[in-house]
Amino acid sequence: MFRSFGAISLATLASADWPTPNWHGCVDPKALSLPYCNTKLSIQERLDDLMSRLDRNDKIRQITPDQKLGGTCTTFTSGKEEIGLPPWLWLVESNTGVDAACPAEGHCVTNFVGPMGIAASFNESSWLLKGQVLGTEQRALSNYGASRFHQDHKNPVCLTGFGPNVNIARDPRFGRTSELAGEDPLLSGTYAMNMVKGMQEKDAAGHKKIAAYLKHYTAYSTEANRGHDTYNISTFDFFDTYLAQYKLAFTAQPAGVMCSYNAENGRPSCANDFILNKQLRSWKPDAHVTTDCGAVNNLKGPPVNAPDDAHAAAMALMNGTDLEMGDTLFSNLSQAIDMGLATEARLTEAVRRSFQVQFEVGRFDPANSTEFHRYGLQDINSSLHQQISYEAALQSFVLLRNDGPVLPIRQGSSVAVVGPHSMSRSQLFSDYAAGSHCFDGTDACVPTITEGLRTANAGGRTVSSMGVEINSTKADGIPAALEAARNADVVVLALGDDRTIETEGKDREDTALPGLQESFAHKVLALKKPTILVLVSGGPMAIDSLMSRSAGSPYAIVQAFFPSHKGAEALAASFFGKENRWGKLPVTMYPHKYISEQPMTNYDMSKAPGRTYKYYQGQALFSFGYGLSLTTFKLQCAQKKAPTGKLAVECKLSNTGKVCGDEVIQVYHTAVDIGKVDHPLPKRALRHFQRLHVPAGEEATVSFDLPTSILEVVNKDGEQKLYPGKHALIFSRGEVDDEQRFEITVPAIEAGTWHVATHPPSQSMLYVILLRQAFLKKAVYLPDWLGMNREDITYLDDFLRITRGGDGSLFILVKEDAAGPDAGTREKLKKESGEEVVQGSGAVRWISTLGLGS
Ligand SMILES: *[C@@H]1O[C@H](CO)[C@@H](O)[C@H](O)[C@H]1NC(C)=O
Ligand SMILES: *[C@@H]1O[C@H](CO)[C@@H](O)[C@H](O)[C@H]1NC(C)=O
Ligand SMILES: *[C@@H]1O[C@H](CO)[C@@H](O)[C@H](O)[C@H]1NC(C)=O
Ligand SMILES: *[C@@H]1O[C@H](CO)[C@@H](O)[C@H](O)[C@H]1NC(C)=O
Ligand SMILES: *[C@@H]1O[C@H](CO)[C@@H](O)[C@H](O)[C@H]1NC(C)=O
Ligand SMILES: *[C@@H]1O[C@H](CO)[C@@H](O)[C@H](O)[C@H]1NC(C)=O
Ligand SMILES: *[C@@H]1O[C@H](CO)[C@@H](O)[C@H](O)[C@H]1NC(C)=O
């Protein structure tokens, strides 16, 4: 019924200039006369009208997949013909490329290097551009009438994009590690923030290009027993690791999240008041929550064992989930409301949020009201998008070793490419790479690593021989591969794994190279040829025995993750020294023994042996942030005088080598000596990073103006806390010997606990201002790192102090639980100012920089 609806609208209203996007609203004459289609009204007024035209069952249909339209995981929701509302398709995957069938020859969607690789670039512009490309291509697919799986128009690409996926790469065994942007919350949160900005770029009329959803909220990183697994997660770990990256990404206001399969402390993510209502909606009150596929049905099993469909549906809805995916238990919400398990008001709220997302992308505005509707086939795999994807790939490889140096390879050499990834095509993609890579449905258009190197090695000889497969005991290809290697000047040894080893639904049991790869590698290295080991994998591999080789045999190691469509070309440009734009490890490479020391089900980040660079107590094979270049760098930093509440450091990065190159300055905080605390402390934690390009022999200067809040750590209650004592900021190129370290002492404050916060409520601001006017000047407190003069200090009383910063701004300290001014003082203040002064009470506990001026 509604399929033909789409066809009618196309026939009657589409013009060559302004195609009607898939399942666009307010096209049908029945709709056009209604207020919800009246663009002169505000979105809220239009939503009021639309909601008023839906009865309870209509509403339920808006948040329950309609099986008649297609697979429930794809999540079609029905329209309502009487009011000219077409159906909608929600689930368009958008983690690596827009997952859609190739609409036309030469115009398959642009795939990016896997998220682990793009994270390795530590480059915000690259992430923003990726988001823009995905947003543009999804819009173009929708305008063009493209479909998700086949060009049958049964699964129209709409404008809700599911990705980025920013689960923390907690354990190298997690089968979906290839989808993730590394192990650090700041890194993956900054990646997601930029990608969301790009995807949701607005047109002049304020429409978002597409709506972005973050996946999988939260603490999801085990495939075994998926959907019924629960993990013990402390408040500390929630705020330090499992919520932090989402919170950061929400500064870009994505449409919402997909809640994850797992449970935290017995509460499934899709029925979890704490993570949905308390946390998520403190970042965005109307954040839209969709379940992962089948997550509502899972509630009928452990850990919560909902007795029936109605209870499961109510549990999800009432804890903050708005849209079901993968099953139709929400169709029981009417019974649930009658039974008193759910409320009509909450149902209405969920439906309203779903429509709000659609209004924001312009679904109910005329197709020609946005410049995005000009996007078409020409914008899918455009040369601009190919270039952006290529540049992202160039910055995604991590050079871990370059003894000899082997790299760059001289053009015109004899190169043997051996190992299972020498010939791979589809195996160069991560999970959730866009569906069809080539128009004919094959991967034939994706160059292999050998083909990439051969093209770049003009005038030379490039041969390949796999030797062994990814995971088999077949050894009969080994002699030929060794022969090829023996006859070459340089050997490229392309090892790793693929989606048969690590993928959705399948965690790795072992982090070592599968099959015969490791023993094959030793045979190749024994030939004593200059060798480059290239690792193609989603998660890091434990290559303990391949870390080094006998002296005098040149050896390089490159982590290439899943390098995608442009990978081979980018790798070749990097190997032959045409480009020198390496990345840094976004994950720790653990030794092999790690998996026997660390249970997969342990979600406690700091419990020995610890997880990620922040807590791992052992010696990593290669650590987070590490990575070399074909040139050499030297880092020198100096602390500068800074305004109150800021820490200023200026770094000079010199390229001391002979070729231009990129480097990433990383800023870490570490608590050096803050006494005994009742919660874990990271060894170090990334607070800031900056990628720089420096020509050979030149230097780049970069100033870091860092807020003092970067000295705060998460405490056991999940709060950001500034501890008195010794702290340090470390400026690093990734654990190498020129790390620059600045110690900062936060003075102990006598009695009471003092807090730092950036947003004091206005009431306490008024109170502080008035006190400042009223009290006498008595100097007391001076933290050195604030860079202030003693004369600038104003003492107010025993619960409140104001100090003046170099820029004239005031630094205000208020003691925790201070009672505030007494009744007499309040009376006096009221007389002087004419303003009511409210009792401070326990709520007064801030330190902040306020631009009060003098
Ligand atoms: C992208 O376009 C180029 C030509 O510009 C073509 O060679 C390539 O096959 C196209 N890729 C896809 C996946 O459509
Ligand atoms: C979680 O904690 C409970 C109680 O301390 C314990 O019984 C259970 O084994 C823990 N679960 C995991 C996965 O560690
Ligand atoms: C919220 O979910 C929990 C399970 O996580 C469940 O026990 C509780 O009943 C739900 N709340 C409501 C109001 O349904
Ligand atoms: C849920 O709804 C289905 C039909 O939609 C019905 O067969 C089933 O009895 C309902 N279950 C409950 C518990 O209401
Ligand atoms: C948009 O299309 C409508 C008809 O569908 C037309 O009346 C209107 O002038 C168009 N506006 C622009 C800006 O092209
Ligand atoms: C690797 O191959 C072996 C032998 O065929 C098989 O038993 C094992 O399950 C495979 N490993 C993976 C991770 O698929
Ligand atoms: C960051 O990425 C963008 C896009 O690929 C690129 O133009 C820029 O040069 C990169 N910046 C650095 C410092 O490498």
Do residues 757 and 846 touch, judged by C-beta distance below 8 A? Answer: yes
User: 513-542 burial by CB neighbour count: b if 16+ within 10 A, else e?
Assistant: bbbbbbebbebbbeeebbbbbbbbbbbbbb
Sequence letter at residue 547: M
Do residues 590 and 122 touch, judged by C-beta distance below 8 A? Answer: no
Give 573's contacts (C-beta < 8 A, 6+ positions apart): 394, 456, 579
Q: Which ligand 7 atom is the nearest neighbour of the CA of 391?
A: 5
Q: CA 523: distance to chain centroid?
A: 39
Instruction: Write the burial class of residue 476 (CB in 10 Å: 0-12 exposed, 13-18 middle, 19+ buried).
Output: exposed
- Which protein residue has the closest C-alpha to ligand 2 atom 10? 232
Which residue, among 635, 689, 640, 633, has the nearest Cα to 662 in the 3D structure? 633
35-72 tens-digit pLDDT: 999 999 999 999 999 999 999 999 999 999 999 999 88
Q: Which residue has the tokens 């330190």?
A: 847
* C-alpha span between 192 and 116 (Å, rounded): 12
Give 790's contacts (C-beta < 8 A, 6+ positions apart): 779, 782
Ligand 5 and 368: CB distance under 6 A: yes
Q: Which residue has the tokens 């990383």?
A: 666
Give me the pLDDT at residue 835, please.
40
Q: Which ligand 2 atom is the nearest neighbour of the CA of 232?
A: 1
Q: CA 686: distance to chain centroid?
A: 15
Half-sphere exposure of 45 (CA within 13 A, CB side): 8
Measured CA distances, 667 to 376, 690, 712 (Å): 42, 9, 14
The pTM for the full model equals 0.89
Do residues 706 and 760 touch, judged by C-beta distance below 8 A? Answer: no
Do residues 553 and 531 touch, judged by C-beta distance below 8 A? Answer: yes
Do residues 669 and 685 touch, judged by C-beta distance below 8 A? Answer: yes
Ligand found nearest the CA of 9: 5
Cβ < 6 Å from ligand 3: which residues?
267-268, 271-273, 304, 314-315, 318-319
Q: Which ligand 1 atom is the nearest neighbour of the CA of 107?
A: 14
Ligand 4 and 184: CB distance under 6 A: no
| Residue 422 DSSP code | G
Three-state helix/strand/coil letters over 537-549: CCCCCCCHHHCCC
Instruction: Give, rounded to a whole angstrom, the gap between the first and last alpha carbons of the chain.
Output: 70
Measured CA distances, 484 to 469, 494, 530, 534 (Å): 16, 14, 13, 17
Give me the pLDDT at residue 434, please.
81
* C-alpha span between 456 and 570 (Å, rounded): 10
Distance 503 CA to ligand 6 centre (A): 14
Instruction: Write the burial class of residue 358 (CB in 10 Å: 0-12 exposed, 13-18 middle, 19+ buried).
Output: buried
* C-alpha span between 767 and 760 (Å, rounded): 11
CA dihedral for 288, 174, 561, 432, sign (positive or negative): negative
CB atoms inside a 10 Å sphere around CB 633: 23
CATH of domain 397-615: 3.40.50.1700
* C-alpha span between 819 and 840 (Å, rounded): 5
| Residue 644 DSSP code | T
At 337, list the tokens: 């409301």
Q: Which ligand 4 atom is the nearest neighbour of the CA of 309?
A: 13
Return the SS3 of 190: helix
The domain made up of 633-746 is a member of CATH 3.90.420.10: no
H-type alpha helices, 526-670: 567-575, 594-597, 612-615
Mutate to test the pocket of ligand 4, among 297, 309, 337 (most ligand atoms within 8 A of CB): 309
DSSP string, 790-806: GGGEEE--SSEEEEE-T
Do residues 313 and 342 touch, judged by C-beta distance below 8 A? Answer: yes
Sequence letter at residue 24: H
DSSP string, 754-817: B---S---HHHHHHHHHHHHHSPP------GGG---GGGEEE--SSEEEEE-TTS-EEEEEBTT
Distance 309 CA to ligand 4 centre (A): 6
Three-state helix/strand/coil letters over 16-59: CCCCCCCCCCCCCHHHHCCHHHCCCCCHHHHHHHHHHCCCHHHH
- Please list the ranges in the chain whose pLDDT falls under 50: 1-15, 749-800, 802-812, 814-820, 829, 832-854
Q: Which residue has the tokens 């997601």?
A: 192
Distance 232 CA to ligand 2 centre (A): 6
The arrangement of secondary structure in 2-374, i.e. its CATH architecture, is Alpha-Beta Barrel (3.20)
Largest CA distance in the chain: 95
Cis peptide before 160 (omega within 30 of 0): no
Distance 302 CA to ligand 2 centre (A): 14
Do residues 361 and 82 touch, judged by C-beta distance below 8 A? Answer: no
Distance 168 CA to ligand 6 centre (A): 27
Give 816's contacts (C-beta < 8 A, 6+ positions apart): 752, 753, 754, 755, 842, 845
At 50, list the tokens: 């639309």
* C-alpha span between 749 and 403 (Å, rounded): 52
Do residues 158 and 22 touch, judged by C-beta distance below 8 A? Answer: yes
Q: Which residue has the tokens 């020294």?
A: 577
Helix (H) or strand (E) segment spanning residue 849: strand 847-850
Give me the pLDDT at residue 825, please.
57
Cα torsion for 429, 434, 439, 441, to the nearest 10°?
70
Distance 515 CA to ligand 6 centre (A): 8
Q: Radius of gyration of the chain from Cα atoms? A: 29
Give me the pLDDT at residue 599, please.
97
**How wide is the angle at C-alpha 334 spanned by C-alphas 331 and 335, nearest 5°?**
100
Q: Enumerate the domain spans of the chain.
A: 2-374, 397-615, 633-746, 762-850
Sequence letter at residue 319: N
Ligand 7 and 692: CB distance under 6 A: yes
